[in-house]
Amino acid sequence: MTFYKVIFLGLSVIGPEEETRLLGGLQKKFNLTPGRAESLLQRVPVVVKKGISKEEAEKYQRAFEEMGGRVKIEEEIPLNREMTREYEPKPRPEPKPEPEGGAYGEAMVRCPQCGFEQPETDECVKCGIIISKYVQYQEMARSVEGQVREISKEEYPPWESGEGFIRAFFQTVKESLFSPTKFFKKISFGEGYWSPLIYGLITGIIGNGCAIFWFWLFMARIIPLDRLPFQYSLSILQMIIPLPFQQAFAIFIGSAILHLCLMIVRGNHNGYKTTFRAVSYSYSAYLFGIIPFIGLVIGGIYTFILTIIGVREGHGISTGRAVLAVLLPVIVIFILIFVAILFIMMFFGSKGFLGGVRA
């Protein structure tokens, strides 16, 4: 049977965000302390697993790639004492003449990588490795090997688990609305933008579309249909048709603004993709728009709450920092409005408009 070894090579893409994501993944998947995770990253390349099948090696490779790491799988060449005697000629040619092993009581050492036996020294004369460093790397690797596990379907959001469309949709709605903390822990495991965007569009269109319909129906009750102008009768279509584009624009721009706020409060730990996914899945709350009149208000407030939970769990930050990041755009808008009102009052006051009628 052929065996393989997995060699950790470091970051797949160089950058501070990618490094933070990789270190967090190493700590989470391998149960490492931050110091040991940084030490492992700084000492690449390092063998993290050997003597395993190709399928097991590929599991390690997927696990490292999901958190932004790069690994290489190599086939192991089984070199041991028996194989050395069988396949290598005797006496074995040496780089330089040496006394017979043990003739003068000289201590011998065996290379841990190639199995070559030589007088005790820190460098293998056959393969060239530094034995002490190699042993140190192997001890570090042993502390993490065997702890990598393949991410199961249960750890992905139901919408991305490969189940049927209807089942996955309603399961995602149920978990995101009624078990948001548990649900939003999963968003960092998923991949890509397309799936969460489609989900956000579906829930946003359903919720906002129902709210528009209820408003139109309410206005039609107040004003008889025969007295409505023709354009107003078609206004519901004029509002619903551009709704998908408005929702997509809101998701992308909202995610970008929120991610900028996360960077300001130093809460960006897992990149823009995690922020985008949190915003998209928080649109589940817009389904409250199905409830007449008050549904959209409830949905808007709960969307706010779900977004806070989403960025908190997705980026692994505190609740206070998540609340600050989500509220920061609102705070800035209120400050700008206050400054604008103050400026207008000062401007008109200087012109005498606010001082009453002059004698």
8 A C-beta contact, residue 6 and residue 50: yes
- Residue ranges and CATH numbers for the domains of the chain are 4-142 (3.30.1390.10), 155-338 (no CATH)
Of these ranges, 79-88, 147-156, 296-305, the one predicted with the greatest mean pLDDT is 296-305
Q: Which of 194, 199, 190 is CA-nearest to residue 169?
A: 199
Return the pLDDT at 85. 42
Edge-first strand order for the sheet with 4-11 is 46-52, 4-11, 69-75
Return the pLDDT at 239. 77
| pLDDT value at 359 more than 50 | no
Q: Which residue has the higher pLDDT, 151 or 51?
A: 51
| pLDDT value at 51 more than 60 | yes
Mean pLDDT (the chain) is 79
Q: Which of 48, 65, 60 is CA-nearest to residue 12?
A: 65
Burial class (CB in 10 A: 0-12, 13-18, 19+), 125: middle
8 A C-beta contact, residue 187 and residue 314: yes
Amino acid letter at 181? T
pLDDT digits (tens, 9 = 90+) for 233-247: 566 677 788 899 999
Kindly indicate the confidence band of residue 175, based on its pLDDT and cuts at 50, 70 and 90.
Answer: very high
Distance between CA 313 and CA 157 in Å, rounded?
13
Secondary structure (H, E, C), 285-350: HHHHHHCCCCHHHHHHHHHHHHHHHHHHHHHCCCHHHHHHHHHHHHHHHHHHHHHHHHHHHHHHHH
Return the pLDDT at 95. 52
pLDDT digits (tens, 9 = 90+) for 187-205: 877 778 999 999 999 999 9
Distance between CA 89 and CA 291 in Å, rounded?
85
| pLDDT value at 79 more than 80 | no
Of these ranges, 35-39, 83-87, 111-115, 260-264, the one predicted with the greatest mean pLDDT is 260-264
Distance between CA 26 and CA 36 in Å, rounded?
9
Return the pLDDT at 259. 95
Return the pLDDT at 328. 95
Q: Which residue carries 């998209």 as its tokens?
A: 280
Q: Which of 189, 197, 211 is CA-nearest to residue 252?
A: 197
DSSP string, 242-264: THHHHHHHHHHHHHHHHHHHHHH
Kindly indicate the confidence band of residue 331, based on its pLDDT and cuts at 50, 70 and 90.
Answer: very high
Q: Which two tokens stand for residue 44?
A: 């690449």
Return the pLDDT at 212. 86
pLDDT digits (tens, 9 = 90+) for 114-163: 777 777 777 777 777 778 777 876 776 665 554 544 445 556 788 987 77
User: pTM higher than 0.85, yes or no?
Assistant: no
Mean pLDDT along residues 338-346: 90
Lowest pLDDT segment from 141-145, 265-269, 334-338: 141-145
Return the pLDDT at 102. 45
| CB-based contacts of 254, cutoff 8 Å, min separation 6 | 279
